[in-house]
A and B are shown apart, each in its own frame.
Chain A
Amino acid sequence: MIMSIRDLFKKNKPNKNITITREQHSVPEGIMTKCPECNHVMLTKDLQKNKKVCPNCQYHHKMTAKERIDDFLDEGSFQSIDDHLQTVNPLNFPGYIEKVTSDMQKTGLNEAVLTGVGELEGRQVVVAVMDSFFRMGSMGSVVGEKITRAIEKATELSAPFIVFTASGGARMQEGVISLMQMAKTSVALERHGAKGNLFISIMTHPTTGGVSASFASLGDINLAEPKALIGFAGRRVIEQTVREKLPNDFQTAEFLLEHGQLDAVVSRHEMRKTVSTIVKLHVREAI
C-alpha cells in the first residue's frame, strides 16, 4: 500500500484516551450530595439531618428560607406576613416578571425574603429570612417593603427583629427604586432602635452589595455563619481595580471578624442557642 507523506501524520489509531461514558445514574437524582468545599459525597438525608452542614469539613450549605425558619424558631410558632405582595416591572425589562414567577414556583415564596412573627425558646421575635434561591436574594421593591413592614411590626410589638441575610445586592431590573430600598429599610431600623428595641443581623452566604451596605451591617449585634462571603464590592471588581491578588479568605466571615467588622462567627449548630441567649439578655424586666 502506498502512503503519501501526509498520511503518516494522520491519526488513524483509535484514540488511546478512551472517554468512559459515565454510567447512567444508578442512584436517583438528589439522593447523594457532593460538598462543593471538600468534595465529600454523602447522603442528602444525612446532610439535611446535620442542618445542611458538611459532616466532613463543616461547610455550611445554603438553606432555603423555609428550612431556616424550621431550624431556627420554635416548632409551629411561625406566622408569615405579607405573602401577598407582588413584584411588578417598573422599567419594563423583558422577561423580568417571567423570571420572578418561575422563582416563585421554585421556592414557594412570593419574593426573595420570608417574613413573619414567631417564637424563639418561648420569646416573641419578628424574623426576616432572605432566600438566595430566589433571584440570588436580590433586593427590589417587594423585598424592601417586606423587610420594612417586618421591622415596623417588631417596633409595634416591642419585639426583637432578627434578619438572616443572603443576597447578591440590589436588584438591577428595578433600577434606582432598588437602591432606595436601602434607605427605606434603614430609616425603619432607625425608628426601631430609637425606641430601645433590639436588632440582630445574621449574615449568611452570600451577603454583598446593597444588602451588606444597609440593614445587614446595622445590627446591634452582627453575627455570621462560618465561611460566609460578606462584602461590599465583588471580588472580581476589586481584583481588576487594585490589580493585586487577594488573600484566599478575603471577604469571608472570618476575615471580617479579624478586621473588627463582626461581633462573632457562630456555627449553625450553635445559632439558635446563641441568638436566644442574646434575646434573653435584652429582656428589660429581670430575667
Chain B
Amino acid sequence: MVKTLSFEEPLVQLRSKITELKEFTSNTEVDLSKEIEQLEERFTNLEKDIYHHLRPWDRVQIARHPERPTTLDYIHELFDDFIELHGDRTFGDDAAIVGGIACFEGTPITIIGHQRGKDTKENIRRNFGMPHPEGYRKALRLMKQAEKFKRPIICFIDTKGAYPGKAAEERGQSEAIARNLLEMAGLKVPIISIVIGEGGSGGALALGVANHVHMLENSTYSVISPEGAASILWKDAALAQKAAEAMRITAPDLKEENIIEEIIPEVLGGAHKDVHKQAQFLKDVLQSSLDKLKDLSEEELIEQRYHKFRKIGTFSDKDFQKTSDKLK
C-alpha cells in the first residue's frame, strides 16, 4: 500500500466510492455502468487538476515520500554493469553516499549519489541519507578516479543535509564539503548533477558543482529545510508550509532563477508511482546533457562550470550614490 499524501485525500475518497459502486453492481442486477463511467471521468479530471496544480508544500511531501525512488533505484534502471566502490581510504565507508562505475548507453561513467533507506532498518544503516565527512571524501576520491580515466560523472542529490553530529564535526564536515566544491570546480570531465528528492543545503551542494544541474519536477533545493527556515525566521517550525512557499525551493523556482538547466518531468502523482517510466524521463535528459557536453574540451568544461556558478547572485551595482548616502 503506497502512502497517500494529504492533498491526495479527495482522490482516495473518490476511488473508494467507485470501487464500492463496482462491487455493488457485480452483486446485484442493477446496472450502474453509466454512473461508474461518469465517476471514472471525474476521477481522471480531478487527478489532473490536483497533480497539475501542486503547491510548494505538496511538492515537499512528494519529495519526501518514503517510497520515492532513490539513487540505487535509478542506478539499476539506467545503467549496466554497475560496480559499487566503497570507502574514502582514510576513515571508513559511509553508506549515506553510494558510488561506483557503470555503463550508460555504451559509455563508461562514474556515478555518485546520496542514499536514503526505504524502511527504518535501512535508514538507520544509511543514516537517513545524511553523510559524514568520509562520505564526501569517498565521493571526491571517485571523482578524481573518473577524471583519471576520463569518465563523465553523474551525481544524484537526495539528502536532508550533511549530518550534524559530534563525530562529523571532529572529522571536519565543513572542510569535506568545502573541498568538494573547490575540487569539482576544477575537474576536467563533464559533471551532471540531478536533484532527485530533497536537496538540503551544503550537504547537497557538495555533489552539485556540475556543468549541468537538473531537478526532478517534484524535488526541492534549498539553503535550509522549510521547518528550519520557519523556526529561524518566525520562531515557529509549524509554519513550514508558509516557509516552503516563501523560500522558493521547488524546481520551477530554481529554473526561473537560472540556477538549474532543466526540469525533468515526473509521472503523474510523483516518481514513486512508476519508477521504470520515471527512469526513462531521466535517461532522455541525461543523454541530451551528455551529448551537449561531450564536445567541450577540458578547459571549456572548467570554464563553463566557472561561469555557471560565477553569475549567480541578485544585487544592485548601479545605484552608487544611493549606497553612499545610506552610509552617511
Question: Which residues of A pack against B, CB within 8 Å?
Answer: 82-88, 90-91, 93, 101, 104-105, 108-110, 141-142, 144-145, 148, 170, 172-184, 186-191, 193-194, 209-210, 212-218, 230-234, 237-238, 241-242, 244, 246, 250-251, 259-261
Stretch at the interface among B40-48, B69-77, B166-174, B288-296: B166-174
Contact B314 A88 (CB under 8 A): yes
Looking at the assembled complex, report how far the CB atom of B177 sits from the nearest CB atom of chain A, in whole angstroms.
4
**A interface secondary structure, majority:** helix
Given A86-B315, A88-B316, A105-B327, decide whether A184 and B223 contact each other with a Cβ distance below 8 A.
Answer: no
Query: A184 vs B177: C-alpha distance in the bound complex, in angstroms?
Result: 14
Contact B310 A232 (CB under 8 A): no
Contact A186 B247 (CB under 8 A): no
Query: A70 vs B251: C-alpha distance in the bound complex, in angstroms?
Result: 46
Contact B306 A187 (CB under 8 A): yes
Contact A233 B182 (CB under 8 A): no
Question: Which among B246, B315, B320, B326 is the interface contact of A93 at CB below 8 angstroms?
Answer: B246
Chain B residue numbers with a CB within 8 Å of A218 are 178-179, 182
Given A91-B247, A182-B202, decide whether A215 and B178 contact each other with a Cβ distance below 8 A.
Answer: yes
Contact B222 A183 (CB under 8 A): no
Contact A212 B174 (CB under 8 A): yes
Looking at the assembled complex, report how far the CB atom of B104 sits from the nearest CB atom of chain A, in whole angstroms.
25
Looking at the assembled complex, report how far the CB atom of A170 sits from the nearest CB atom of chain B, in whole angstroms.
5
Contact B175 A244 (CB under 8 A): no
Looking at the assembled complex, report how far the CB atom of B2 sits from the nearest CB atom of chain A, in whole angstroms.
30
Query: A176 vs B181: C-alpha distance in the bound complex, in angstroms?
Result: 16
In this complex, the member of B186, B309, B326 whose beta carbon has the largest number of chain A beta carbons within 10 angstroms is B309
Contact A233 B164 (CB under 8 A): yes
Chain A residue numbers with a CB within 8 Å of B30 are none
A-B contact count (CB 8 A): 200
Contact A182 B169 (CB under 8 A): no
CB pairs A–B below 8 angstroms (19 shown): A84-B319, A104-B327, A174-B314, A176-B248, A176-B253, A183-B309, A187-B209, A187-B309, A188-B310, A191-B185, A213-B173, A213-B174, A232-B169, A232-B173, A232-B174, A233-B162, A233-B173, A250-B169, A251-B169
- Does B189 touch A at the CB level, under 8 Å? no
Given A105-B327, A179-B202, A181-B312, decide whether A172 and B229 contact each other with a Cβ distance below 8 A.
Answer: yes
Query: A162 vs B208: C-alpha distance in the bound complex, in angstroms?
Result: 26
Query: A184 vs B181: C-alpha distance in the bound complex, in angstroms?
Result: 9
Question: Which among A173, A183, A217 is the interface contact of B179 at CB below 8 angstroms?
Answer: A217
Query: A174 vs B248: C-alpha distance in the bound complex, in angstroms?
Result: 10
Given A183-B208, A190-B182, A238-B166, decide whether A217 and B174 contact each other with a Cβ distance below 8 A.
Answer: yes
Query: A251 vs B168: C-alpha distance in the bound complex, in angstroms?
Result: 11
Query: Closest A-chain residue to B181, C-beta based?
Result: A186
- Does B106 touch A at the CB level, under 8 Å? no
- Besides the contacts A86-B322, A93-B246, A212-B178, what 20 more A-B pairs have beta carbons closer than 8 Å? A83-B324, A86-B315, A87-B316, A90-B314, A104-B323, A109-B327, A175-B248, A177-B259, A179-B201, A179-B202, A179-B221, A179-B223, A186-B309, A187-B310, A213-B202, A216-B178, A230-B174, A234-B164, A250-B166, A259-B172
